[in-house]
Structure 1
Amino acid sequence: MVQLRLMTDDLALGERVLELVQLALADAVELTASEPTRLNHRSGGLRAVLDLRPANGDEQLATALRLRREQYLGGLLFSVGDAVELAVRQRGHWVDEELEAEGEDARVHFNLPAGTRGRVVTVRDYPGPLPYVVLWDVHGGPEIGVAQHDLQRASPVERVTVAPLQCGSCGASTCPRFGTPHGECDCRGRLACLCTVAPGPRHQW
């Protein structure tokens, strides 16, 4: 038999914590908890003991675990390949196995600000605090586990197309650089009219 013991000199605090513990145990379908046994406390505080044991029968436990896994999988929002971005900054480190084998400090630190973009490469199919492994679009591309509430779908990237400026966009009738009529100089088809490199109030970058 496994026992959970609570003891405190503050009776009101103890009663509140005991209430919260009972609520938590009621949600733990893999465990069965007895009603608390109250013991004398020398200073008038709280002493209580709860007996804990696994849920009765392997079949009942397997059913409870299966239901929890189904609930976990049903609550996932992202799939492998989804583009995501961080909702909050992530700091931490992972262990480089090659450095570890060489006997060096194998901790590789990362500090990713909110808004860092990446792509989901793994969705863990078992309940846990970090259900997603994300490959980030930064130098080195670390793959780190992330909690669901720390992610959001990546916002669309606005792409701006810049059309080439045709010769003559500077406003001159002839190219002051080449001295030829516009359309015959070397400016045609460039991203900026080469006339703009010539001095003068009408030719500015």
Structure 2
Amino acid sequence: MAVTRKAAVGEKKKKGGFRETVLLLVLGVGIALLLQAFVIGSFYIPSESMENTLLINDRVFVNKLAGAPERGDIVVFKGWSTGEDTIKRVIGVGGDKVVCCDAKERITVNGTPLEEKSYLYPGDFPSGKKFSVTVPAGKLWLMGDHRSASADSRAHMDEPNQGFIDDKDVIGKAVVRYWPLNRGLIFTKPDTFDKVK
């Protein structure tokens, strides 16, 4: 009789442990899905437009709660005409005048030249296309770091949006390159943007 009672208690503990494991697993998956939907996203890089900062097949985590994009941020957004997830660097925000180029072939923002060597693709020019734009309120001017291989704001200037992206189309700010592991990097804003007023 005592043996049967012990066996029943042991069986009950096994069932309780299994249920608890399943519950924790379901809860963990649910939390992960909520984080993916509202807080952190993972994105892979499909093109060379952000080289050498980001190479093809690199993967980044994006903070969806990072707040309004600032100059110098790398952001993922809904692309110009296709609505596909796209990644570029913010060069100008609402109210900024972005011009290419000054006498030294540098892009200027509000008259301040950008020193872009820290992120611009080696040997690339800041822009092969001349332009002068004033970014409307609530919009962004975005460019890839590999300018000669990037279909960015400059490539969409003849469209109704004139190359600008609505800041509401931004999914989030890239915060870390996590893959491949040997190239892991936490992104920081380049110092040159601190000089822009």
Same fold (TM over 0.5): no
Structure 1 or 2: more helix by fraction? 2
Normalising TM by the smaller chain, what interval? under 0.3
* Higher-RCO chain (CA-CA 8 Å, sequence separation at least 6): 2
Give the TM-score normalised by the residue count of structure 1. 0.20
